[in-house]
Amino acid sequence: MTDLTTLTSWHADWKGLRVAVLGLGMTGFAAADTLVELGATVLVVAAKAPEEHADLLGVIGAELLEVPGLDAVPPRLAEFDPELVIVSPGFHPDHAVLLWAAATGIPVWGDIELAWRVRDKVRAAEWITVTGTNGKTTTVQLATHLLAAAGHRVAAVGNIGVPVLDAVRDPIGFDVLVVELSSYQLHWINQTPEGSLSPLASVCLNLADDHLDWHGSADAYAAAKGKVYDNTRIAAVYNLADEATMHMVEEADVVEGCRAIGFGTGAPGPSDLGVVDGIIVDRAFHDDRRNSAFELTTHGELAAAGLAAPHSVSNVLAASALVRAYGVAPAVIRDALATFRIDHHRTETVLEADGVLWVDDSKATNPHAAEASLRAFERVVWVVGGLLKGVDVSRLVERQAARLAAAVIIGVDRTELREAFERHAPGLPVFEVAATDTDDVMPEVVRLSAAAARPGDTVLLAPAAASMDQFTDYGDRGRRFAAAVLDQLRSPSDSSADDSAGGAADDDHSESGHGAGEPGAPTA
């Protein structure tokens, strides 16, 4: 048996280690590919194997065991007698294979644990880790953009779409990795002292109920999120407007000397980043922080970059805190923010026609994200629904009812939405999309929304739900919405709308757990 406590480097002796990899999406394939390169003997177990990955497994020298359903321990897996299991993010902790591993004493790691241990193949980059119920991807992209502007070789990796294991094997290497971590990935990190992830800086942006069907309870979900702060060395960044994140920092076992850095859209304290008279400032990293602050940018400059919404300002503050911990200068941050653009499907304007603004925020896959989006507009025709993932939407409807002009319900989980509107917005016009064929859903959404909207209204796709009931992913949902809007409402002479609205195909990592063959609910 291999002593796993010795496997804390790429250059350790991994040869002959028997490893079972669960799942063959991007994460699973990256894990298998890495382990084969290290000299391990690898068996990949998947309910469904994407053809491109399945073909490559044979080339690299890993064995594939495809078991439709995968609801029990396959005999071949037991015969393989693994010394280690690497689990892809979509697998629930109570999956039969994972329960079997626990009962038989087989260690289980996630891909993040493996990547941390082998990060020194080329040169060990610093890690900056980001989680939260909402805003992770934008914050990671912001931090990456700011670090690149400062001249550092940096990559955005993890739940954002690029497996961390691919980055650590880059032949040139990186100075910094900005790692987006879902609650699924966080569940499996720091299970063993010798492999403990220790980032330079970390943040949990916010916390709201999500993925309770996966974690089993709100407390378990919060506990997973809080693990992002464990062993942080320089800056544990938290949200001044979200007390739960402050408590996470207070309870975290950080490295001695690590500072707690707050961010918020109000006036900052001496260890915070915040906003004063429309100026975004940093008091936390100023030598004379009790009396002075660095100016990072202004609200007007953020508005010009499409970052003026309150949740976008919060993301800017969080990202700035993370890169300031790495030493990026305030002047670099200011210049770089002016050139940053938010991704598609994140409060993205599709079209303005006849005084009505049409906005795609398909990325709002839970109530917390949808509420942030709703708050950015005064009067909204709200396109809502999909897979609610066990989360209660009634409080969201109650809080935002006053700004709603109408609601258009899509998706399979409709009963909860109907009841919430009946209880908290009884006079609100509520329409349901009858179409069930994917191609027909968004054209009907646009027809119903256009009939309900008046000049000055915003038709907002912010579903507060996952998309896989009717669409491939949130990107597919957003692209179909944008296409239907442009097809039905844009006049031939309208040059203001972008024919590419919705953008290129998204890898829906925040929803699908990094690809086919990895069962489970959306990640956050």
Give dist(CA 148, CA 153) in Å, integer: 6
418 CB-near residues (< 8 Å, 6+ apart): 409, 430, 432
The three state secondary structure string of 386-412 is CECCCCCCHHHHHHHHHHEEEEEECCC
209 CB-near residues (< 8 Å, 6+ apart): 218, 221, 367, 368, 391, 392
* CB neighbour class for 57 (10 Å; exposed up to 12, middle 13-18, buried from 19): buried
91 CB-near residues (< 8 Å, 6+ apart): 22, 23, 97, 98, 518, 519, 520
Pair 206, 368: CB distance under 8 Å: yes
Superfamily of domain 348-491+499-505: Mur ligase, C-terminal domain (3.90.190.20)
Would you say the C-alpha torsion 214, 215, 217, 221 has a positive or negative sign? negative
DSSP code, position 118 = T
CA dihedral 483, 486, 489, 495 (to 10 degrees): 180
Give the DSSP H or E segment for 431: strand 430-432
- In this predicted structure, what is the pLDDT of residue 425? 95
Decide the pairing of beta strands 279-282 and 272-276: antiparallel
The closest of 249, 251, 293, 256 to 272, measured between CA atoms, is 293
- In this predicted structure, what is the pLDDT of residue 496? 40
Query: Is residue 132 marked as binding?
Result: yes
Give dist(CA 522, CA 511) in Å, integer: 4
What is the CA angle 382-386-392, rounded to 5?
A: 80
Q: Return the residue matching tokens 């990671």.
A: 140
- In this predicted structure, what is the pLDDT of residue 509? 36
DSSP notation for 270-333 = TTEEEEETTEEEE-TT-TTTTT--EEEEEHHHHHHTT--SHHHHHHHHHHHHHHHHHT--HHHH
Query: Is residue 6 marked as binding?
Result: no
Q: How far is CA 91 from the centre of its chain?
A: 17
Query: Is residue 297 marked as binding?
Result: no
Joined together, the tokens standing for residue 6 give: 């010795």
- In this predicted structure, what is the pLDDT of residue 157? 95
Decide the pairing of beta strands 294-298 and 279-282: antiparallel
2 CB-near residues (< 8 Å, 6+ apart): 13, 14, 16, 17, 83
DSSP notation for 144-199 = HHHHHHTT--EEEEETTSS-HHHHHT-SS--SEEEEE--HHHHHTSS-SGGG----
Query: Is residue 34 marked as binding?
Result: no
Give dist(CA 14, CA 199) in Å, integer: 24
Would you say the C-alpha torsion 303, 305, 306, 311 has a positive or negative sign? negative
Averages of pLDDT over each 10 residues, the chain, 524 residues = 92 97 93 97 94 88 95 96 94 93 96 96 96 89 97 94 92 96 88 83 86 62 91 97 95 96 96 96 94 95 87 95 98 96 78 91 88 88 91 90 96 92 95 93 97 95 93 93 93 47 36 37 38
Looking at residue 85, its amino acid is V
- In this predicted structure, what is the pLDDT of residue 213? 54
Give helix 136-149 / helix 310-326 axis angle, nearest 10°. Answer: 40
- In this predicted structure, what is the pLDDT of residue 524? 47
CATH 3.40.50.720 maps onto the chain at: 4-113
Query: Is residue 136 marked as binding?
Result: yes
Give dist(CA 500, CA 350) in Å, integer: 10
DSSP notation for 66-77 = E-TT--S--HHH
- In this predicted structure, what is the pLDDT of residue 183? 86
CATH code of the region 4-113 = 3.40.50.720
Pair 226, 204: CB distance under 8 Å: yes
Give dist(CA 222, CA 132) in Å, integer: 10
* E runs forming strands in 181-264: 201-204, 235-239, 259-263
Looking at residue 295, its amino acid is E
CATH 3.90.190.20 maps onto the chain at: 348-491+499-505
Using only the alpha carbons of the chain, give its radius of gyration.
23
76 CB-near residues (< 8 Å, 6+ apart): 43, 65
Query: Is residue 161 marked as binding?
Result: no
Query: Is residue 5 marked as binding?
Result: no
